[in-house]
Amino acid sequence: MYEFLIAIQYIGIAGLFIESWLILKSWKDSLRAYLFFACVATLINNLGYLLELKAKSMDAYITALQLSYAGRIWICFALFLFVFELSSIKIPGILVNTLVFIHVGIYATILTLKRHNLYYSDIDFTMIGQFPVFIHKDGIVHNIFFLIQGILIVLGMTVLIISYTKEHKKVARKRLLMVIIAFVIECFFFILQIFNPSNLYDFTMIGSVLGTVFMFISIFRYNLLGTKDIARDFMVDRLSEGVIAIDNEGDIQYYNEPAGELFPRIDEDPATVIDSLKGAILHGSTISINDRIFTPEENDLLYKGESFGKLYVLIDATEHYDRLKQEKKMLRKELLTDPLTGFYNRKGMLHYSEKLYREILESHKTLFLCVADMNGLKYINDTFGHEQGDKAIAELAGIIRESLAEGDMAFRTGGDEFLIMGGREAPRDHIKDYEEKTKELIKRHNEENDLPYRIDMSYGPIVAELTGEEGELDKLINLSDSKMYEMKKRRDSYRR
């Protein structure tokens, strides 16, 4: 009989070691953490009890007992946490901390049981055959500990049964049933031990072995730990942008690390997060978070034909939208830019001239404006061809570009017509400065380039203190245009 019970202990220890290893291998959330806590506590309890069975003296037995209680003290507490987490019920932090404090205090009395009668009293030791027998009376702390264990067991069993009755999915119900059976078995042997007339063997050890068997069934047959999904979950946790899973009641059951980073308040205010996702999906819009753009998707969570809820996936579409924005910007620029000169075209002038006018007005600067018109373009086109005419326009554009002051903008408003705008601050003769600089640039260009025609233009530079009155810019452009035509009448020296 003794050897048989020793063998049961070894089997239980091996089973608990394997179960602990499986949980540790798939560790990724609180559920596994609590179950691992329970398994390690039970493993330590069984190891300590194995040493109790092999003890031959009072001191050896008490040492083994204290090791055993290092695990036993936490078993019901760990299972209590596991059951509530499995049932998605949040335990108040103050209750958890209080229970931890109480259990630590109880274990302290076990470590010092020789010095007082709080846990055991009237202790003695003897051997009955091969069995060591620890004789004692239960103290007040022992009774409190067993009362707390009883309360935790009743609460845990109640929560499991309620969860089982509310659960409609077949796989989830079977999974809960296996956990309930494991719980019932361990509770049965726990109660049996309370009324155990003999001190030869602790029946809770058999309960832990049988409970481990049903936990194995739940793990392997009904995927309690999701061992089949470890690789897939790794991909979801590390490589996806954001994943949130909700059950059929709309409660969040899972979210990966990226989702937690995107929604820091997902634990405090999960409803707002889900509502924002549903709203974006309903209206076909995107969600902007931390300068990134996400496209939310909703998928049904199905397993063997059963619906387990919804899976929301946040796809990072920032690069896609940045590319679209860039393409739109480039297209807009192409629509507003003259390809021959690189200046904004007439459409660009209509858009940017008003904008620049407002900036100069608001900064209280002086407006510099000049309408320019190329001299002799018709002659060049008729004599040398339109290709040379385009080349001449491009050459003139280069001269105009060199004449620009910092902040100026140039526009090609027609075939050979240009507009220059900019703000001026210093009280100088800006018209004279522009005329002298432009004359020098035209002269140098014609001297340095051996062309069969001269590059020349007429221009009408003006400066004005802006008032902001309606139509002011158009009036100033017309004024500059008139001044340009006066100059054109006086000049026709575009031939070599």
Going from N- to C-terminal start, the domains of the chain cover 2-227, 240-320, 337-490
Q: Would the pLDDT of 325 be above 50? A: yes
Classify domain 2-227 at the CATH class level. Answer: mainly alpha
Averaged pLDDT of the chain = 83
| pLDDT(493) > 80 | no
Question: What is 240-320's CATH number, 3.60.21.10, 3.30.70.1400, 3.30.450.20, 3.50.30.10?
Answer: 3.30.450.20
In whole angstroms, give the CA distance from residue 179 to residue 313. 31
Instruction: Answer whether residue 447 shows pLDDT above 60.
Output: yes
Is residue 451 over pLDDT 70? yes
The answer, as to whether pTM is greater than 0.75, is no
Q: What is the pLDDT of residues 262-271, one digit of tens each?
A: 888 888 888 8
In this prediction, residue 358 carries a pLDDT of 92
pLDDT for res 49: 86
Per-residue pLDDT, averaged over 59-63, amounts to 92
Residue 32 has pLDDT above 80, yes or no: no
pLDDT at 264: 87
Res 231: pLDDT = 37
Give the pLDDT of residue 411.
Answer: 95
Predicted local confidence at residue 216, as pLDDT = 58
CATH topology of domain 337-490: Alpha-Beta Plaits (3.30.70)
Residue 161 has pLDDT above 80, yes or no: yes
Task: Give mean pLDDT, residues 405-414.
Answer: 91
Between residues 106 and 168, the one the model is more confident about: 106
Q: Name which of 35-49, 296-310, 385-399 the model is least confident about.
A: 296-310
pLDDT band at 198 (very low <50, low <70, confident <90, very high): low
Q: How many CA atoms, within 13 angstroms, populate the side-chain half-sphere of residue 489?
A: 6
Look at 26-30, 190-194, 307-311, 316-320 and tell me which has the smallest mean pLDDT. 26-30
